[in-house]
Amino acid sequence: MAQRTFDSGERPPYHARAMANPLLDRVPPEDLADCGQVIETEEKIKNLTRLVEIIEADLAAVPAQLVPAKWRTAPVGIKLVFSWADGREEIPALQGRVAAAIAAVCQRCLEPCEIAVEIDLNMLLLRALPRSKDVESGFPDGEVWELAEDTIRPLDIVEEALIMALPLSPVHSSQDLCGPLADNVVSEKPDIVRPFAGLKLRLGK
């Protein structure tokens, strides 16, 4: 008979909420904090439509035969843990990790490359800035994530985090992987401004 055991300290998965897909449902962040929602799953790049648009725009400059065929189906590893940041249960917090290999154009050789993006999430989900002093002292490492609406769709946060983590000047992880143009391009300064570069600076600290 099949038997599932859990190591001491490891808790069984949380299944209390009957949701079709907690990544896609739009709910108040307070609800997710209240039930301690944990989302551990894998998505595909192709389901992150704004990210896909950015990648497509990047790759448009590359000869089609060089574009990696399967970049859209590359996996996005997702772990999200919702909780309350404060004892008064006023500030929903989100911690977790997002990891993906994202296709981009190497700014050294102008050929497609794969950028490994790994983000540790540590966010306070707030509806309005400025934050109070209480927030800063109680959760000093949390990055304030300003919510535009009363509800969130967790996948949107994953996508936003990935977009903001994209390097401004992606390059192959080693110059050995670069194409023949690398020697010509290496001294030039890439002049690329991503649409979310400003946002990254604003939320950076």
Q: What residues line the site for Zn ion (CB under 5 A)?
A: 106, 108-109, 172, 178
Give the number of other CB atoms < 10 A from CB of residue 53.
12
Rounded CA separation 52/126 (Å): 27
We find the least distance from the C-beta atom of residue 141 to Zn ion, in angstroms, to be 35
Q: How far is CA 4 from CA 1, 35, 38, 147, 194, in A?
A: 10, 23, 19, 39, 47
Rounded CA separation 204/198 (Å): 10
Q: Is the CB of 29 or the CB of 108 nearer to Zn ion? A: 108
Q: Is the CB of 78 or the CB of 113 nearer to Zn ion? A: 113
Q: Is the CB of 23 or the CB of 108 nearer to Zn ion? A: 108
We find the least distance from the C-beta atom of residue 184 to Zn ion, in angstroms, to be 12
Q: Is the CB of 43 or the CB of 58 nearer to Zn ion? A: 58
Residue linked to tokens 């997710």: 32
Sign of the alpha-carbon dihedral angle for 81, 83, 86, 92:
positive
The region, left, alpha or beta by phi > 0 then psi within -120 to 50, assigned to residue 16 is alpha
Rounded CA separation 117/134 (Å): 32
We find the least distance from the C-beta atom of residue 59 to Zn ion, in angstroms, to be 14
Rounded CA separation 61/179 (Å): 15
Q: Is the CB of 166 or the CB of 178 nearer to Zn ion? A: 178
Strand order in the sheet with 92-105: 38-44, 75-84, 92-105, 112-126, 143-146
We find the least distance from the C-beta atom of residue 120 to Zn ion, in angstroms, to be 27
Q: 3-class SS at 52?
A: helix
Q: Is the CB of 125 or the CB of 172 nearer to Zn ion? A: 172
We find the least distance from the C-beta atom of residue 165 to Zn ion, in angstroms, to be 20
We find the least distance from the C-beta atom of residue 170 to Zn ion, in angstroms, to be 9
